[in-house]
Amino acid sequence: MTNPVSICVIGSGYVGLVASVCFAEMGHRVTCVDNDAAKVATLQAGGVPIYEDHLPELLARHLNKGVTFTTDLAAAVTRSEAVFIAVGTPQGDTGAADLSFVEAVVSEIARAVSSYKVIVEKSTVPVYTNEWISRVLHRHGVEPSSFDVVSNPEFLREGTAVIDFLHPDRIVVGANTERAAEVLERIYAPLTTGSYYTQPNALPGDCSAQHPAKLLVTSAQSSEIIKHASNAFLALKISFINAVANLAESVDADIEDIAAGMGLDSRIGPKFLRAGLGYGGSCFPKDVAAFHWVAQQQGVDFQLLEEVRKINETQKEIFFNKVRAALWTLRGKRLAALGLAFKGDTDDIRESPAIDIVKKLLESGASISAYDPAGMERAQAILPPSAKLTYAADAYEAAKDADALLILTDWKEFAHLDLVRLNQALKFPIVIDGRNLYKPREMQERGFTYVSVGRPASYQAQQGKPRKLGLS
């Protein structure tokens, strides 16, 4: 790269670590800062503390060349032209984002500013955070001419975050000065000019030299709202299709056919029209609540967001009721639970519907044998130790002698199980699929009682259909 930028990224979580490694992959000089010394030591040794495709190989490629890790924030800020803030913004008691970590970092940055810096919000923050960052810097005596604050939200999906970063649908830069916008344009030039995609070792994806990444420059306020509005709209699509699924199931329609028919409309599209247990993870629940809170503070009645949240919570209750209806009683039952992460291809269990369902089943007296390809270690730190909860080495060990198998996470391997082997392992061939990974007719033909979301249940031959139970 002929014009690399010196970048400091503060925070080595999902967003910060992916951004650091990808900026290095684009040719920039990156220092990633974290106050967790043990985590920094792991990264300095080449260890990757999160489960994310392509991250280990890119870190190995650029460690101590394009990217370094440190606990020394002041030194990293001093030698950088752009400082990206990628610390946590957890949900507070009121639903608002807790910006205390952002404020603490900005106060530290202020003490290290000795020349012009572009301070970039990479964390998900509410509108007007850019102004508050500016105020904090002013209060610490930083001259207005020494900095600009820019909003540059991330649109990463856990499990595909590296590819999402290097092959984005769009790059949004909210800058209120041309000087700051120019710095961000230089940073993203390898993607927006297409030069990155011509490199022999470039990771493949949707973008190319002929079709490079698109850059949208807005005001900082518009950029901040774009992030929250985008996540809220995706959560809305998920809750909408789940509400339709409940209607479809009540009239013996098939939500998979309905979603396919809707998704073929170019105005709607097929993405996020997958009925299931609802959304989870570190973004959607928090961002829907935060966006609702922001609207309330501005006097805007955005009740639609409250309905999105309610539908999502209800979906877990509906699935729990399916398990209870299929088994009559839960006390003393042994259940196999496939999946603990909030979705496949990640070890993230934050706000995972699977975790909530496992907890509720344990409280109801069932015992659980759980398996997740990546999330079991994190789950063990969250789920209370219990003689009724064990962890299996694979799906078939989890299913051994179980009264029923529950599919709670959409890992690809769960969609390709050996059904003959699974049938033999289970005490009773009952599968309750919260992710619609199989076709009801196929499962019935394989001898299973199969219950899914938004589709008529398929029962073994000569087995009567149990009466539906109401929500508890």
Q: Is the pLDDT of residue 471 over 70?
A: no
Going 282 to 375 to 203 to 211, the CA torsion angle's sign is negative
pTM of the full predicted structure?
Answer: 0.90
Pair 378, 355: CB distance under 8 Å: no
Q: Which tens digit of pLDDT belongs to each residue from 241-251?
A: 999 999 999 99
Q: Which residues, at least 6 apart from 312, have a Cβ–Cβ distance to it below 8 Å?
A: 235, 238, 239, 242, 278, 279, 285
Q: Which tens digit of pLDDT belongs to each residue from 20-43?
A: 999 999 999 999 999 999 999 999
Residue with tokens 């961000």: 184
The whole-number pLDDT of residue 470 equals 46
Local confidence band at 461 (pLDDT 50, 70, 90 cut-offs): low
* Total domain count, the chain: 3
Q: Is the pLDDT of residue 468 over 90?
A: no
| Number of residues written out for the chain | 472
Mean pLDDT of all residues belonging to the chain: 94
The whole-number pLDDT of residue 1 equals 61
Q: Is the pLDDT of residue 299 over 80?
A: yes
Among this protein's residues, is 283 annotated catalytic? yes
Domain membership flag for residue 439: yes
Domain membership flag for residue 214: no
Q: Are residues 251 and 180 in the same domain?
A: no
Q: Are residues 176 and 115 in the same domain?
A: yes
Structure-block tokens of residue 449: 């009682």
Q: In the listed set 281, 310, 339, which residue is the last one of a domain according to the structure?
A: 310
| Residue 240: exposure state from Cβ atoms within 10 A (0-12, 13-18, ≥19) | middle
d(CA 360, CA 18) in angstroms, rounded, equals 34
d(CA 461, CA 447) in angstroms, rounded, equals 8
Q: Is the pLDDT of residue 100 over 60?
A: yes
**Given 8, 32, 207, 283, which residue is catalytic?**
283
Q: The domain containing residue 42 runs over which residues?
A: 6-202
Q: Are residues 297 and 337 in the same domain?
A: no
Domain membership flag for residue 467: no
Q: Are residues 347 and 259 in the same domain?
A: no
Going 320 to 322 to 328 to 333, the CA torsion angle's sign is negative
Q: Are residues 245 and 334 in the same domain?
A: no
d(CA 455, CA 467) in angstroms, rounded, equals 16
Report the CATH number at residue 129: 3.40.50.720
Q: Which tens digit of pLDDT belongs to each residue from 146-175?
A: 999 999 999 999 899 999 999 999 999 999
Q: Which tens digit of pLDDT belongs to each residue from 57-91?
A: 999 999 999 999 999 999 999 999 999 999 988 88
Domain membership flag for residue 186: yes
Q: Are residues 63 and 121 in the same domain?
A: yes
Structure-block tokens of residue 35: 């106050």
Q: Which tens digit of pLDDT belongs to each residue from 356-396?
A: 999 999 999 999 999 999 999 999 999 988 899 999 999 99
Local confidence band at 472 (pLDDT 50, 70, 90 cut-offs): very low
Q: Are residues 235 and 191 in the same domain?
A: no
Domain membership flag for residue 460: no
Q: Are residues 265 and 414 in the same domain?
A: no
Report the CATH number at residue 250: 1.10.1040.10
